[in-house]
Structure 1
Amino acid sequence: MSTFGLKKDQPSSTEQHPTRIIIALDLDAFYVAASRKRDPSLNGLPVAIKQKTICATTSYEARAKGVQKLMRIRDAVAKCPELIFVDGEDLSYFRKISTEIFKIVSSMVRDGLVEKLGMDELFCDVTSMVEDRYNEEIAGICPPVKPFGNVLPQRTKHRLEQKKGDLDEFDPLTRKLFIASNLAQTIRERVAEEVGLTSSAGIATSKCLAKLIGNLHKPNQQTVLAPCDPAFATQDTQELIDPFPIRKVNGFGSVTTARMCEVASSTTGVPENTVTPESMTILVARTLFDHTALSEMFGERIATRLHALLHGIDDEPVIKAPDFPAQISIEDSYFGLPFEKVPEQFVKLGDSLLRRLELELMSHPDPRQESEEEKVRKQEAEAEMVEVPLDIFGNPRSTWLRYPLSLRLTTRQGYTNRISRQTRMPVEIFDISVPRIERAKVLMHSCEALFRAVIQFEGNKGMGIHLINLAAIDLSVHRPNQSIGGFFKQPVQARTPVVESRQIIEEPIPETNQIDMAFLMELPEDVRREVAQEYGIELPTEANQSAGSQYEPLSQSSILSTQSSASTMLCSHCGLSMSSWLQHDHERWPDTGLPHKHKDEDMDDLDWDDEDDDVMSI
C-alpha cells in the first residue's frame, strides 16, 4: 500500500516544529460497527448499544429515526419500535478491537506519537513525517500531491479549481497539510483493510481544530483545514468553528459549560435559547466572555486556555500513549445493592478485570501485533537460549509482560465520598491455565476482606452499595512470588497436556480450592493470619470458636451485628471487636510482644492521649 514516500522509521529532519500537523481519527459509530463485525446480521438495521436503562450509542440508521445517544430505552423504543439492542455491559470485546486499531496506527506514525481519547478516537502527530516528504518535493525527488478528501476553507477549494493542479504557488504550510491528508487516507485504508471498520478524520494544525473539522463530514470521510492565504487564515478558521457547541471542544466540560450558561442567562439581552449546554456555541461564548470574565469565573490559568480555544488556538501536544497504563480498573453502579449480593458482583467485576489484564498486560502470538517490548523480550530469550512457552500445537503462548502487585477496592454508599482499601494481588490470577471464572473467585475472596474494612468506616450503614470499583495497580515487570498460603491448598486433580520440547507431557493445573480450615487453625498465629489475609478468610473470635460457630457468608446483618457503634470495627486477622483508633496498634501486638490474654477490658484501662484517624491498611 502506498505511503506517499512517508518514511516512519527515518529520523526527524528537525527537532522542533513551530507548527504541528495533527490527524484526528474517529472510528465511525465504533461500538455498533464492532458489534456488526462480530454479528454481520446487524448490518443495515437500527442498532443501539444498551447499558443499564439507556442507549449508550446508536447506529446511523437509528439516529435517522430520532434515536440519539444517552436516550432512555423506553423513549428509544417509542421512536423506533424495530430498534435492536446489543448488550454493552461487558466492554472486553470492544477494548480488544480498540487495541488492535491503536497498534496499527502506532506502527504507521513515526515515534509512535499517537494519543488515545477513549476507545474510538486517536490523535496523531505527523509533523516530522510530513516535513520530510515536503523537503523531498522541494528537492524534486517526488512530485507534489493534491489534497485527499474534503478541503476547507472555501477559499482554498476555489484556488485549487483555478490552479487546476498547479500546487507550487500554494503556501508551504498548505502543501504540508495536503500531504497529511494523503497520510490520513492511507491510515484509514489500513484500518479498514485489517480490522474491517471505517473511520473519519480531520487534518489541521492543532488537536482542537482537527477534531472539530473531522466532525463536519462523516461517516467514512475526511476533511483538511488548509488556509491558503495567511492574511485570511484566522478569519477563515474562526468562521468554520463558530457554529460548533462549546461542549464539542475538549476543555469545556459539563461543569465549565454549566457555569458559563448560568452567568450568560443572567446577562441582559441574551436570548434564553442560546445559553443552554446544548445550544451555546463558540460564537456566543466568544462574544459574551472575554479573558477578564473567564478569569473571574475560573482563575487566570484556566481562563487563558479557554479563551485561546474559543479563538481556535490550541498548543496542547499529542501525548504518546504509554505501553502500559498506570492502573487498570472496572467499575459499575447500582441502586442500593444489598450487602449479601455484593460477592456475586465481585465475581462479575473480577471476571471483567481479568479480561482487561489479559488483553492489556499480556503478549500476543500474532507478530503483527507485537509491541517493541515484546520483540526485545523475545530476542533476549533467544539470545539466552530460554525456551519460549508453547501451546499444545507448538505455537507461541501468551505470557505476562506486567504484573499488578496490588488490588484496590473502592465503594460508595449513597452520595457520600468514595472509600478505598487495597491489598496484595493474589498470585493465582496469573495462572492462565486455570479458568477465568475460578480466578475471579480468588479475587472475590480478597475483595470480601477489603469490603469488610470499607463498610466499618461508612456512615450510612443501613444503605446499600451504589458503586463498586476494582483496580489493579502497582505494575511490575517481575512476577510476584507464591505466598505461603499456596502451600496449604488441597490436592489438585485436574491435569492437562502441555508441549515441552515438542513432547507432550502431563502437568498438573493449580486450582483455587478452598483452604482446609481445620489445618489452617492449627498453624501458628502469624502464619494463620497471613494465609487468612491472602484468601480473604475471616477468622473467628474465641467466643465463636467455643460456640462452635461456622463461617457465615457476607451479609449486612453479619457485618452490622458485630459492631457496637459507628466507631467500632473488627480486626480482619483475628475478628476482635474494638474502637477504630486502636486498630493500628492492635495489628502490631505480635511484634511488640504484648501478651495475647489482653482483651477489650485491658484496652479500656490504657491511657490513650492521641486519637489519630489512622485507617486500617489491608
Structure 2
Amino acid sequence: MTSLLRKQAALRRDDSRIIIHFDYDCFYASVFETENPALKSLPVAVQQKQIVVTCNYEARRRGLRKLQLIKDAKRTCPDVVIVLGEDLTKFRDASKELHSFLKKYIWGDRVEKLGFDEVFLDVTSMIDHNAQFLNRNDLRNSFFQLDKNDPTVGFSFDAGAFCGPTWPPNACSTRGEETDPEMFSSLGMRLILGSHLANYLRFQLEEHTGYTATVGISTSKLLAKLVGNANKPKNQTTLIPPYSAGTDGQQGNIDRFLCQHEVGEIPGIGFKMANRIRAHILGRQPSTELYQSLTDTDRVTVGAVRSFPNMGPLKLDKILRGGGWPNFVGTKVWCLLNGIDPTDVAAGKVIPSQISIEDSYRQVDSIQAVRKELRTLACNLLRRMHADLTQDAEDEEDIMTGTADEDGREALAKGKKRWLAFPKTLRISTRSRLPPLPDGTHPFNSRRISRSCPIPQFVFSFHESIEALAERLIEETLIPLFRRLHPDKSAYKLSLINIAATNMIECAGSEKSSMGQDIGKMFQNRTRVPAHSLSLNPTSKDAEYIDDRLDTIDMGDSTDSVNPRNDIHDGKEQHSSKTSTTKEIMDNWDEEEVHGWASDDEISADKDSAAPCHECQLCGSLIPSFAAQAHATYHSVRSTEVGCGQQP
C-alpha cells in the first residue's frame, strides 16, 4: 500500500507550467541603500528591538549574520552602519512598487507576493504564445513578444541556448550537431524561453527601480524557489530537463537536485515538522535549537528521508501525528519531497482582506499609557488605509480632495482621490503579560482577546489631517472599546495592543480585478461614505444602540502563537507595522528563510459586524444602511418613469 501511494504521488507532477520566482537581494537593506546610495559600499545592518534582523552582503562578508544581537554585531564589525527598521512602512511601500512593476509585464495577472521580498510569476501563457512562433531553423535570431496585441513590443534573444546559469551546470545548447533531445523538447524549449524572459525582467527591474534580484525558473513554485538559491545574489538559475528518470534507471534532474537538500530547506516544511522527521530518521532528538545553525550530525537530507525503509505518505502521517497538522499531511509532505507542488500562482489581490497594526511592550498598565500607544497605532492604521485602499480619481465624479492649510493639515489626496474599498469593522485586540516564573522570566502568552464595532464614517474623510482623525478615533471609538475589553481599570498589564480595519467592502475600480458595483459613481455621489459606519461618541443619540451592540459582540480570544517557520497549514502573514516579540521579529525579517505558500493578506475572522438595516417606507423591504441612498434613488427613478407614461 505504501509503495503504491509512493508511486502514485511520483506520477502527479505537472510540468505544463513555467514559473519564475523573484527574491529581491538583501531587500530590507536595499531599501535603505536606495534612499542613500552611499550605503551600498558600507556594511549595513537593519535593527529591530536589539536584533540584527538582516544585513547586506558587505556586512556578511565582514562576519555579520542575521539574528545577531546588536552588541555582538558591533563587536564583530565596529564600523557597521546600524539603521532602524521597526517601522515597516517603507518596506511595504517598496514591495508594492516592485510588485506593480513586475505585474505590468505579465499576462493574466498571475503575480503572487510572498512576504515583502519574494514574488512568483506564472508566465505559462506568455511562453506558450511565443513558442509557437519560433523558427527552429534560425533560433539565434528569435524575438520575444511582450504584448499579445502588438508584435513589435518585446526583445530579441537567442533561443538556441539557456540564458544564465542552469542546474545542473554547463547545460548544452540546442544548436548544432550535438543537440540534446531533452533541450529541444517542448519542456526544454519552454524553459529556454522562460530563462530569457527572467533575464529581461531582472535587468528591467534593476534599470528602472535600482533593485536587484535572484531568480529561479522551473515548472512549480517549489522548484523555482529552490533552484534560484543555487546562484546568489544578482543572478538566475534554470532547472533543466530531463525532469523524470530515464529508461536506463538514471535519476532525473529533479530527484538529483532535491535529494541533496536538507529536509528543513524544503519550502512548506517548517522547523517543527523537519525536527519530527529528523528525529525519526536519526533515531534521536536533534540537538539543534530554533534559529541555531544546523549541526552536521543533525543534518538529514531529502535523499535520506526518501530512501528510509518503508518511507511514504502513510509513514509520514504516523511520524507527524499529534503535531497539529491537518489530516493526510503525510501525502503533502511526500509530494514536496518528490518535487510535486501543484499550488497555483494566485492573481494578486488589489484590496487586502484586513489592515492590522500592532506593537509589543514590556508592560502597559494605565489608561494614559494605552492612550499614548493607541495614538501611534491609530495614525499608522489610517496611513495604511490611505496607502492601500485609495487611488487617484479618474474623472470629476471621483473627486475627493484634501487641502493643506497653514495649520498643518495634510493634503492626503494631493489632488483627486477615491476609496477602492471601505472596511466595515474596527477591532482592538490585546495580550496580557503573564506573572513571572520563579526564576524571574516571563512565560510567553499567545492568548489574545478582542472587541469589534462598526468603523466610524469620519475616518474616510480627506479633509482632516491623519493626526486629527486619529485623535477623534481614539476618544470616540477605541477608548470605549478598550474599556469594555478591560473593565477593571487596575487589572490589566498588557504586552501587546493591536488595532485592525477588517471586513472590506470593495468598490469598482480601474483594475481588472476590482469587484462590486460602484454605486456612488452610478449616482454621482462619490463623496459620500458608507452610511453603515457609526460614530461611537457615547454622548450621541446612538449611545444606547452602541451599548446594546457592544454587549452582543463576541470577545473571542485567539491563540496567536507563533509558528517559527511556515508549515503547510500555516496561516497568512500578519499585516503589522511592528512585530510582537523577538521570536516574531526573527520570523518576519528572515527573508531567506524557508516559507510556506502564504498570501500577503490575513483573512479576517470577525463575524460581528453586520450593518444595521432599516425598513423602507415605500416598499417595506429591509435595506442595509449603506445602501439606503441607492435604494431611495431607485424609487425616485421608478416614479419618474411612471410619470412619463411608462409601465411600473
Q: TM-score, structure 2 length as denominator?
A: 0.64
**Which residue is 2:316 aligned to?**
294
Give the Cα–Cα distance (whole angstroms) in 1 for the partners of residues 29 and 328 of structure 2: 39
Using the TM superposition, give the Cα deviation of residue 435 of structure 1 relative to its aligned residue in structure 2, in angstroms: 2.0
Q: Counterpart of 2:645?
A: none
Describe the superposition over 1:17-48 as per-residue Cα deviations: whole angstroms up to 9, x where unpaired: 86211000111111111111112221211111
1:481 to 531, 534, 540: 531
What CA deviation, in whole Å up to 9, does each residue of 1:280-331 have, x standing for no partner? 4333443445433211033552111111111222221112222211111112
Q: Which whole-Å CA distance do the structure 1 matches of 2:451 and 2:285 have between them?
A: 51
Cα offset, 1:248, TM superposition: 2.8
Match of 1:205 in 2: 219
Moved more, 338-347 or 388-397: 388-397
In the alignment, is residue 195 of structure 1 matched against residue 215 of structure 2?
Answer: no
Judged with a 3 Å threshold, the aligned counterparts in structure 2 of structure 1 residues 456 and 171 are, in CA distance, closer, same or farther, namely: same
Matches within 5 A, 1:46-125: 46-125=43-122
Give me the whole-angstrom Cα distance separating, in 1, the residues matched to 2:297 and 2:205: 34
The answer to whether 1:316 aligns with 2:339 is: no
Q: Return the letter of the residue paired with 2:390.
A: M
Say yes or no: does 1:443 pair with 2:473: yes
Residues 439-491 of structure 1 deviation map (CA, whole Å, 9 limit, x = unaligned): 22233332222222222499xx75621222211101124632396759xxxxx
Pick aligned residue for 1:42 from 39, 45, 60: 39
Q: Computing the radius of gyration over CA atoms, which structure comes out larger, 1 or 2?
A: 1
Secondary structure in structure 2 of the residue aligned to 1:386: helix
SS at 2:424's partner residue?
A: strand
CA change 1:401–1:28 in 2 (3 A) is: same
Q: Is the 8 A contact 1:485 1:530 kept in 2?
A: no
Equivalent residue number for residue 126 of structure 2: 129
Q: Of 192, 217, 237, which residue of structure 1 is paired with 2:231?
A: 217
Paired position in structure 2 for 1:251: 268
Q: Distance in 1 between matches of 2:131 and 2:199?
A: 17
Is the helix fraction higher in 1 or 2? Answer: 1
Question: Where in structure 2 are the equivalents of 1:34-433 lying within 5 Å?
Answer: 34-137=31-134, 143=142, 145=159, 146-154=161-169, 157-158=171-172, 170-228=184-242, 231-232=245-246, 234-267=251-284, 279-288=299-308, 289-298=311-320, 301-340=328-367, 341-364=369-392, 378=394, 381=395, 386=397, 388-389=399-400, 396-413=415-432, 414=434, 415-433=445-463
Distance in 2 between the 1:327 and 1:229 partners? Answer: 41
Structure 1 residue runs of 5 or longer lacking an equivalent are 1-16, 366-377, 487-514, 536-618
CA–CA separation in structure 1 for the residues paired with 2:79 and 2:422:
46
Q: Deviations over 1:184-210 (max 9, x none)?
A: 112222222222111110001111110
- Give the counterpart of 2:29 among 8, 29, 32: 32
Selected match of 1:455 from 476, 479, 486: 486
SS of the aligned residue for 1:119 comes to coil
- Work out the CA distance in 2 between the residues paired with 1:231 and 1:286: 15
The count of residues paired between Structure 1 and Structure 2 equals 466
Q: Cα distance 1:436–1:229, how it changes in 2: closer, same or farther (>3 A)?
A: closer
Rounded to whole Å, the distance in 1 between the matches of 2:429 and 2:228 is 38
* Separation of aligned partners in 1, 2:105 and 2:297: 38
Letter of the 1:403 partner, please give it: F
Q: Mark the runs of 5 or more structure 2 residues left unpaired by the alignment.
A: 1-13, 143-157, 322-326, 404-410, 435-444, 508-528, 551-648
CA-CA distance at 1:407 after TM superposition: 0.8
- Once residues 267 and 474 of structure 2 are traced to their aligned partners in structure 1, the CA distance between those partners, rounded to angstroms, is 38
- Please say if residues 402 and 462 of structure 2, whose CA atoms lie closer than 8 Å, have aligned partners that are also in contact: no
- Cα deviation for residue 112 of structure 1 reads 0.4
Shift of 1:220: 0.9
Q: Which amino acid aligns with 1:247?
A: G
Code of the aligned partner of 2:127: V
Distance 2:252 2:280 in 1: 27
3-state secondary structure, aligned to 2:121:
strand
Distance in 1 (CA, whole Å) between partners of 2:89 and 2:18 is: 33
Secondary structure, counterpart of 2:352 in structure 1: coil
Per-residue deviation, 1:161:
8.7
Kept in 1, the 8 Å contact 2:363–2:493? The answer is: yes
SS of aligned partner of 2:331: helix
Once the two structures are superposed, residues 513-558 of structure 1 have per-residue CA deviations (whole angstroms, 9 ceiling, x without a partner) of xx8x9xx4xx7xx5454689999xxxxxxxxxxxxxxxxxxxxxxx
Deviations 1:317-371 (A, max 9, x none): 1122222111111122222333342221111122222222122111147xxxxxx
Distance in 2 between the 1:178 and 1:284 partners?
32
2:306–2:337 CA contact under 8 A, matched in 1: yes
Closer/same/farther in 2, CA of residues 211 and 442 from structure 1, 3 Å limit: same
Q: Structure 1: which amino acid aligns with 2:163? A: F
- Could you tell me how far apart the structure 1 residues matched to 2:297 and 2:120 are? 25
CA contact under 8 A between 2:19 and 2:220: conserved in structure 1?
Answer: yes
Structure 2 SS opposite 1:68 = coil
- Letter of the 1:356 partner, please give it: R
TM-score (norm 1): 0.67
Q: In the alignment, what sits opposite 1:566?
A: none
Cα gap change, 1:482 to 1:187, in 2 (>3 Å)? same
Cα distance in 1 between the residues matched to 2:73 and 2:177? 50
Work out the CA distance in 1 between the residues paired with 2:534 and 2:226: 56
Stretch deviating more after TM superposition (275-284 or 467-476): 275-284
> Compared with structure 1, are the counterparts of its residues 329 and 270 closer, same or farther at alpha carbon in structure 2 (3 Å cutoff)?
closer
Q: What whole-Å deviation, never above 9, does each CA across 1:86-145 have from its counterpart, x for those lacking one?
A: 111111111111111111211111110011100110111111211111111168797361
**Separation in 1 of the partners of 2:478 and 2:344?**
39
Name 1:19's counterpart in structure 2. Answer: 16
| CA distance, structure 2, for counterparts of residue 157 and residue 428 of structure 1 | 62
Secondary structure at 1:399's aligned position in 2?
strand
In the alignment, the residues of structure 2 paired with residue 83 and residue 161 of structure 1 have an alpha-carbon distance, to the nearest angstrom, of 49
Q: How far 1:398 moved relative to its partner?
A: 2.7
CA distance in 1, matches of 2:50, 2:37: 25
- The SS at the match of 1:468 is strand
State the AA in 2 paired with 1:45: L
Q: What is the rounded CA distance, in whole Å, between the counterparts of 1:270 and 1:162 in structure 2?
A: 53
8 Å contact from structure 2 (residues 454, 534) kept in 1: no
Output one character per residue of 1:148-179: Cα deviation in whole Å (capped at 9) or x when no partner: 1112224x614669768999962210110010
The alignment's C-alpha RMSD in Å is 3.7
Alpha-carbon contact 1:130-1:180 (below 8 Å) kept:
yes
Identity %: 30
Q: Distance in 1 between matches of 2:285 and 2:478?
A: 55
CA–CA separation in structure 1 for the residues paired with 2:451 and 2:31: 36
Q: Which residue of 1 aligns with 2:558?
A: none
Higher deviation after alignment, 112-121 or 277-286: 277-286
Match of 2:564 in 1: none
Distance 2:294 2:128 in 1: 42
1:180 Cα shift?
0.5
